[in-house]
A = this chain, B = another copy of it.
Amino acid sequence: MIQQTRHPIGITDVTLRDGHQSLMATRLRMEHILPVLEKMDKVGFHSLEVWGGATFDSCMRFLNEDPWERLRIIRKHCPNTKLQMLLRGQNVVGYRNYADDVVDAFVEKGSEYGMDIWRIFDALNDTRNMRRSFLAVKKAGKHAQGTISYTTSPVHTIEKFTALARELADLGSDSICIKDMAGQIFPRDVFDLVKAIKDALPDMPVQIHSHSFSGMAPVAYYAAAEAGADVVDCSFSALGWGTSLPPTESIIGAFKGTPFDTGIDIAGLQELTDYFDDMVIEYKDIIQAKSLRIDPRILMHQIPGGMFSNMLSQLKEMGASDRLDEVLKEVPRVREDLGYPPLVTPTSQIVGTQATMNIIMGGRYKNIIKEVVNYLKGMYGRPPGEVNPEVLELALKGEKPIDCRPADMIEPELEKNRAEAEAKGARPGDMDDLIAYTLFPQVAPDFFKKREQQSKEAEHAQVVAAAVGAYQNALHKSAARRAANGTAAAVAASPWATAGRMQNMGMA
């Protein structure tokens, strides 16, 4: 440690995206984001992750908020700090591959509204699924961050990951992210990987994203810094640790005085720490106590926490909880058969369900789920390793897997959807709404309807408020007249107070 020269580490604070996505099902509402933006903007973070991932979907589906508006408001209140987001490559912010025109339009609009750093990722590390996103981000003149989805397997070696980093650099990466979504990276391994990437690409900034589930992430960040990493992802303590990320305050503290000192004043963070602590109380019903704790079992069976609980519920539903051990042993075998996909959405569900089937249904691959068939067809992208030819034959029955990028098979989607979208409430000619509808056709119409309802109500409230204001103004004048006439009068309500309340309610 003391041997090293000073190399300050940047902090990307993810409280407003991955923090609440990990711990409270992406339910953080704008009313709780707005009051802290200006304070967060002043801390000196490398960037703020505030959008992308599940936030776009959740805004419309659960919060009745316009996701684009959320980005615009955050941008307005954070003029000094770079904004960052997670883009799921060709899946954009959804759960399937979309056509290129959707990717292009999404990145163009997001960039226009202020997104600076686009972290582009693919669950299978198939760069074909990321290429279009890179082109779009570069065209918008923004920062494209290429992502390595970290996992462990015989085909996921330091050499392979370094080759992937080179590929991402060739696509135009302005930086590389090592994304350890399961929180399973060993400090030793992240050290070696960062070192290898830095040796291969000496000028490439490297950022680490690890979850706290195994309890090793703070040490992994430290070891990564020793190997030359530049930025780490953290979340304020109230929405940190457990299935979320290492706490922002703890990591800033842990690096203090070391060669990796972030330069951020810890004492200055207390107001934010207190704010988020009080804030999460409002969400206590949706935060599961279990997800706040660490679970070291990922280190023992290499199965991410979320996947483990899914398999456990599946088995319970089938009345087969006693077969968990067999299923746990089947998971790595299925994963091997499928060419070692990283265990992250959606491949974690695919592998977990097929493993359960293999144990419960009286024989391996007696019953092959539709998603495994599609996976083997190449509809998610290229498997990282060789797939088992016997399983391939059983699943595809002689059909050949596609050898192109899955999105090559999708026609442009936006214009085709326009009439339908507008019939279902999208604003005529509005690109934001058309993208939202194309990404989430089941969800967007309901949101459009509620938005219209709200806007009518707000208009109505404004008319009423104006009338009330005029009336109170008249009262005020008459009270002033009475006072001038020597009559004492308590003037409880004033038009200014009314205006203040309206502003608080977001109406002004």
User: Using a CB–CB distance below 8 Å, which chain A residues touch chain B?
Assistant: 1-3, 186-189, 191, 195, 214-216, 218-223, 226-227, 237, 240-241, 246-247, 249-251, 253-258, 266-267, 269-270, 273, 289, 292-297, 299-301
List B contacts of A3 (CB < 8 A): 3
Known A215-B237, A249-B299, A300-B273; contact A186-B254, beta-carbon cutoff 8 A: yes
CB–CB B294/A237 < 8 A: yes
CB–CB A1/B250 < 8 A: no
Known A237-B296, A273-B297; contact A253-B1, beta-carbon cutoff 8 A: no
Residue of B1, B219, B251 near A254 (CB, 8 A) is: B219
CB–CB B216/A219 < 8 A: no
List B contacts of A273 (CB < 8 A): 296-297, 300
> How far, in angstroms, from A1 to B228 measured CA to CA in the complex?
12
In the complex, what's the smallest C-beta–C-beta distance from A360 to chain B, in angstroms? 23
> How far, in angstroms, from A289 to B288 measured CA to CA in the complex?
11
CB–CB B253/A296 < 8 A: yes
19 A-B pairs besides A188-B256, A215-B247, A237-B293 with CB distance below 8 A are A1-B223, A1-B226, A1-B227, A2-B191, A214-B253, A215-B237, A215-B241, A216-B254, A219-B219, A219-B222, A222-B223, A241-B293, A247-B296, A249-B296, A250-B299, A266-B299, A270-B300, A273-B296, A292-B292
List B contacts of A241 (CB < 8 A): 215, 241, 293-294
CB–CB B218/A216 < 8 A: yes
CB–CB B188/A257 < 8 A: yes
In the complex, what's the smallest C-beta–C-beta distance from A277 to chain B, in angstroms? 9
List B contacts of A215 (CB < 8 A): 218, 237, 241, 246-247, 249-251, 253-254
Tell which of A220, A256, A293, A296 has the most Cβ of chain B within 10 Å: A296
Residue of B187, B219, B223, B293 near A292 (CB, 8 A) is: B293
Q: Is the interface of A mostly helix, strand, loop or mixed?
A: helix
Copies assembled: 2
Q: Would you mind naming 10 contact pairs between A and B with Cβ atoms under 8 Å apart?
A: A1-B191, A215-B218, A215-B249, A218-B218, A223-B258, A237-B296, A247-B294, A249-B296, A266-B296, A289-B289
Residue of B257, B266, B294 near A250 (CB, 8 A) is: B294
> How far, in angstroms, from A219 to B191 measured CA to CA in the complex?
14
> How far, in angstroms, from A255 to B188 measured CA to CA in the complex?
8
List B contacts of A254 (CB < 8 A): 186-187, 215-216, 219-220
In the complex, what's the smallest C-beta–C-beta distance from A240 to chain B, in angstroms? 8
Query: Shortest 4 CB-CB distances between A and B: which pairs?
Result: A215-B250, A188-B257, A249-B296, A219-B254
Nearest B residue to A223 via CB reads B1
List B contacts of A270 (CB < 8 A): 297, 300-301
In the complex, what's the smallest C-beta–C-beta distance from A447 to chain B, in angstroms? 34
> How far, in angstroms, from A214 to B297 measured CA to CA in the complex?
23
Nearest B residue to A248 via CB reads B296
Nearest B residue to A219 via CB reads B254
List B contacts of A295 (CB < 8 A): 237
Nearest B residue to A266 via CB reads B299
List B contacts of A226 (CB < 8 A): 1
List B contacts of A251 (CB < 8 A): 215
Residue of B249, B256, B300 near A269 (CB, 8 A) is: B300
> How far, in angstroms, from A214 to B273 measured CA to CA in the complex?
12
List B contacts of A296 (CB < 8 A): 237, 247, 249-250, 253, 266, 269, 273
In the complex, what's the smallest C-beta–C-beta distance from A281 to chain B, in angstroms? 11
> How far, in angstroms, from A204 to B334 measured CA to CA in the complex?
51
List B contacts of A266 (CB < 8 A): 296, 299-300
